[in-house]
Amino acid sequence: MDRETREAVARARRRLDRLDLYPRPVGTRYLRVLVVPWLFRLPWFRRFDGYSAHGTILLRRPLGPYDDDLLTHELCHVWQMQHQPLAMPLSYLVRGYATNPYEEEARRAVELTRRG
């Protein structure tokens, strides 16, 4: 991870640290942030700019100066998976995307922490 990405992750982590959604703070020590534009050309991924898997955040393009909200959203998904490693991903199969409670929680986390 380059320095700018590391700093962006640290900013996102500080935002999530202000919330008490889960018992342990989000862990970023083993986090990977990868830019994989080709992935986001596939049908399922086309609608996203970022996507989180266990311990990994995938991005459509390199982080820019206005992407802190995006990164905070994706890091919140990492946090969710650190606490609910099966229930969280499975919920997308059961509940779909738009009204998924984890999705709503990640959006709320961004809104609640947007201002210092």
8 versus 109: smaller Cβ distance to Zn ion: 109
Of the listed pieces 4-12, 32-40, 78-86, 101-109, which binds Zn ion according to CB under 5 A?
101-109
Tell me how far, at minimum, the Cβ of 103 lies from Zn ion, in Å: 5
Tell me how far, at minimum, the Cβ of 3 lies from Zn ion, in Å: 26
Q: Which residue has the tokens 């862990």?
A: 27
CB neighbours of 58 closer than 8 A, spacing ≥ 6? 34, 35, 36, 39, 50, 51, 52
Q: What is the DSSP letter of 25?
A: P
Q: CB-based burial of residue 112 (10 Å sphere; 0-12 exposed, 13-18 middle, 19+ buried)?
A: middle
Of the listed pieces 19-27, 32-40, 78-86, 99-107, which binds Zn ion according to CB under 5 A?
99-107
Spell out, one character per residue from 47 to 86, where the chain touches Zn ion: x when CB under 5 A holds, - when not.
----------------------------------------
Of the listed pieces 17-25, 60-68, 79-87, 106-114, which binds Zn ion according to CB under 5 A?
106-114
- In angstroms, how far is CA 64 from the centroid of its own chain? 16
Rounded to the nearest 10 degrees, the angle between the axes of helix 101-112 and helix 68-83 is 130
**Which residue ranges make up the site for Zn ion (CB under 5 A)?**
103, 106
